[in-house]
Structure 1
Amino acid sequence: MTVPVTLSLYIARQFLFSVLAMTASLTGVVCLFDFIDLLRRVATKPDVPTSLVTKIAGLHVPYFYMEIMPFGVLLGGIICFWRLTRSSELIVARAAGISAWQFLAAPLACSLMLGAFTTGAISPLSSIMYARAEALDDLYLRSGGGPLSLNGTALWLRQLDTTVDPHGVAILHARDTHLENNTLSIHDISVFRLDHTGHVIYRIEAPEGRLETGFWQLQGAQILRPYEVAAPAQTIALPTDLTLSRVQESFASPDTLSVWALPSFIAMLDRSGFSSIRHRLHFESLLALPVLAGTMSLVSAGFSMRPSRRGGVAKMIGSGVGAGFLLFTVSKVAEQFGNSGALPPLLAAWAPTGAGLCLAVSLLLHLEDG
């Protein structure tokens, strides 16, 4: 038996309205606390205008929406299904022979599309606005230079180097870096040029250098070959596909990159020798977001579709909220394990979603008496 189109559209409309209203409400509350925290920080900076607080808080809105959206789906779904059950609409539908799996198809489709829209459209907007907010925060509110500062940082990178070997690599190590006027200078530099088997062809030692467009310019560099006298100091151009913004982004939060930019950026990090674990985990989390939203809709249905004639409404809704926050806690613990390298990024991002999906399916099977 198929679900009538009119009933599906009605349930989908009720579900979507509840989810959007709850997501907007929760995002507003979180943004209010963020605004208050920014006001507190600005109070210690007499030279910073208060209008900057509103600007930074506004730039944070898409980021907070993405964080809140799965819980907006959970709480909005609980309210929607509880209202439909209390008004006996779902009871009548089930008495007419429509199972829970049939009339949940429309809310599940809505939550999946909402999650896909968030990943595909809101993520690029959030990354741009969040990067701008972080830049303003670094410039006006932080005294330590923020995560985009490279001053005094040692630098390691690995990149392809086909000048000597078609499959060779170059490993660059700078003991000190300095960023000024959008120019990255490096000091006490060692470059190891390796062939495709991993053997050192020669080494370059240079006291200083800087990142130019398409190459590292190493000044006063000496080439040291095995069993040969060191060559005279000269200026060497070492080709690279790195730019200043990419080097800075490798030290910045993955939230400043959209889902569309992450695959190429992860590949660049791997070629350059930077750790890509955080970016891989963030990318997998964005891919899992639609499935997580669909899981939350099923969890909300499992906890709120029981008839309330025997009471226990508060306990039922509280159990649903508790299950949602338990899933949130599990996801954060898995994220920490993923960032530390104890779990693969794929497993750390998808395991909480899979656990929540198993819980939701179990609840619905129990609700339908097998």
Structure 2
Amino acid sequence: MGGVPTPDPDWSAPFVRPFERIQAMPLLPTLTAPTLTTYVARTYLKALAGSVLAVSALLLLFDIIEITRRAGSRQVDLDVVLTMAFDHLPMTLQSALPFVFMGGAVIVFWRLARSSELVVIRAVGMSVWQFLTPILGVVLLLGTLNVTMLNPLAARLYASYERMEATLDAGTKAPIAMSNGGLWLRETHPDGQVVVLARGVRQVDHTLVLQNLTLFRFGPDGRFRERVDARTGGLDHEALVLSEVIVSRPGDPLEVYPTLTVPSRLTLPKIQDSFSPPETVSFWDLPEFIAFFEAAGFSAHAHRLHWHALIASPLLLVAMVLMGAVFSLKPSQRSVNWLARIIGALSAGFGVFFLSKVTYTLGLSETLPIALAAWTPPLITGCVALAMLFHLEDG
């Protein structure tokens, strides 16, 4: 009864707990940074995977509809249509990758903002740059893998798609092929077919020079009729003019002519169009193709521009993610009009797409240097996004 009353053990809590929190706060970012980095990177990978699947499904559907429309009344098996669509999908997805990566970033920021996780991450002291670093690292790594590993696969599948596409356009495209082995040409005439092999092809002063030619003539029934060998040849008014010609026919002696004229629809523009499109050439094979075409006297601007664009593509993906962050991050995430921000991000993405098309066109026309045309879109987009993020973060 006369004892001293026991003090309340919690009477000092209001004074001790804030002090403990103040002491713990400087250590909190250090302790949680690796965990947050891993969590943010994993969350972005999940959002990116969802974006890739959604966009791939839409592109695949559009391709199936377009291939079916082009087939028209011809009977084309469903497995052929699906094979063509799947072969074309990786290349069309390559063009949409900047939007896909930016869409993945917007989805991540939207999810983290709705769950208030972004507010908590900012409250522990992480800046925008610390928050974006794991995402940008993932984007840069995936962009590099896309150029070095996925692009060769996409180029091989696209080449297969083009070969199958030629069957749908039979009779509308000239059967011409040009590679390191020379020029192959097949033409159909009223009296049969002619197959031409030119082992050497050069362009000299806008004139096509063919060397070491071999022509095979076939009758309307497909039977072999004669072989023509010539040292050189040139084009002249829808005709192939050959020199130092040797003609051999089954059962007949050889015939030698100083010159011989063979009807042909071969033209210089058709030769230039016969080059493998840049999209069908692997990133690793592009330098060899460029050297071969330029050694033959032809312009390889399209291939060289495509090669520079592939090298710059990881930087473009990083710039698009930064642009998505501009429209998704805000010091206060309350009462954010996400619809307006998404529309703004899409508008910025289409602006980058338009800028890329303009600079690429100027590069192909040699108005801009090729390197400048390829690197301008990622550099301008990245600089603008960084400037806006600096303004949002530091005021």
Distance 2:363 2:228 in 1: 31
Separation of aligned partners in 2, 1:131 and 1:186 = 32
Question: Which letter maps to 2:353?
Answer: F
Partner of 1:114: 142
Per-residue deviation, 1:174 = 4.6
> Helix, strand or coil: the match of 1:349?
helix
**1:34 equivalenced with 2:63 (yes/no):** yes
1:24-46 deviations in Å (ceiling 9; x for gaps): 21121012111101011123323
Q: In structure 2, which of residues 309, 325, 337 is the aligned counterpart of residue 285 of structure 1?
A: 309
Q: CA 1:320/1:309 → structure 2, altered by over 3 Å: closer, same or farther?
A: same
TM-score (norm 1): 0.75
Instruction: Specify the alignment match of 1:208 in structure 2.
Output: 242
Q: CA deviation at 1:123?
A: 0.6
Distance of 1:274 and 1:304 partners within structure 2: 47
Equivalent residue, structure 2, for 1:14: 43
Corresponding position of 1:138: 166
Structure 1 pair 94–311 and aligned structure 2 pair: CA distance change class (3 A): closer
Indicate the residue corresponding to 1:219 in structure 2.
245
SS at match of 1:208: strand
Q: d(CA) in 1 for partners of 2:346 and 2:46? A: 19
1:173 aligns with 2:209: yes
What is the Cα deviation at residue 360 of structure 1?
A: 1.2
Relative distance call for 1:304 and 1:98 in structure 2 (3 A) is same
Given that 1:158 and 1:271 are in contact with CA atoms closer than 8 Å, whether structure 2 keeps it comes out as: no
Letter in 1 for 2:337: G
Deviation at 1:332, TM superposition (A): 1.2
1:89 Cα deviation from its structure 2 partner: 1.8
2:192 corresponds to: none
1:23 aligns with 2:52: yes
Aligned to 1:338: 363
Uncovered stretches (5+) of structure 2, i.e. residues with no partner: 1-28, 178-184, 188-195, 219-226, 247-255, 260-270
Q: How far apart are the structure 1 equivalents of 2:291 and 2:359?
A: 23
Query: Which amino acid letter does the alignment assign opposite residue 219 of structure 1?
Result: V
Size of the aligned set, in residue pairs, is 314
Q: Offset of 1:297 from its aligned partner?
A: 1.3
Could you say what secondary structure the match of 1:304 adopts? coil
Tell me, yes or no, if the aligned pair for 2:175 and 2:186 is still in contact at 8 Å: no
**What is the rounded CA distance, in whole Å, between the counterparts of 2:67 and 2:346 in structure 1?**
29
Q: Tell me the alpha carbon deviations over residues 202-228 of structure 1, each in whole angstroms, 9 at most, x when there is no partner.
A: xxxx9438xxxxxxxx636xxxxxxxx
Shift of the alpha carbon at 1:248? 8.7
- Distance in 2 between residues matched to 1:178 and 1:340, nearest whole Å: 36
Q: Is there any run of 5+ residues in structure 1 with no aligned partner, and where? A: 160-170, 192-205, 210-217, 221-231, 236-246
The Cα of 1:301 is off from its aligned counterpart by 1.1
Separation of aligned partners in 2, 1:366 and 1:146: 56
State whether structure 2 residue 284 is matched by structure 1 residue 260. Answer: yes
User: What amino acid maps onto 2:84 in structure 1?
Assistant: I
Moved more, 323-332 or 341-350: 341-350
Distance 2:228 2:48 in 1: 47
Structure 2 distance, partners of 1:289, 1:102, is 23
Normalised TM-score (structure 2) = 0.71
Alpha-carbon displacement from aligned partner over 1:268-327 (angstroms, at most 9, x marks no partner) = 111111110000011111111111111111111111012341332111121111101110
Q: Does 1:349 align with 2:374?
A: yes
Supply the distance in 2 between the matched residues of 1:290 and 1:26 (Cα, whole angstroms): 19
Structure 1 residues 173, 327: CA separation in 2 closer, same or farther (over 3 Å shift)?
Answer: same
**For residue 58 of structure 1, what is the aligned residue in structure 2?**
86
Partner Cα distance (2:106, 2:228) in 1 = 53
Deviation, 1:141, is 3.4
**Structure 1 pair 99–54 and aligned structure 2 pair: CA distance change class (3 A):** same
The answer to whether 1:317 aligns with 2:317 is: no
Q: Which residue of 2 aligns with 1:362?
A: 387
Aligned pairs (5 A) from 1:154-169: 157=202
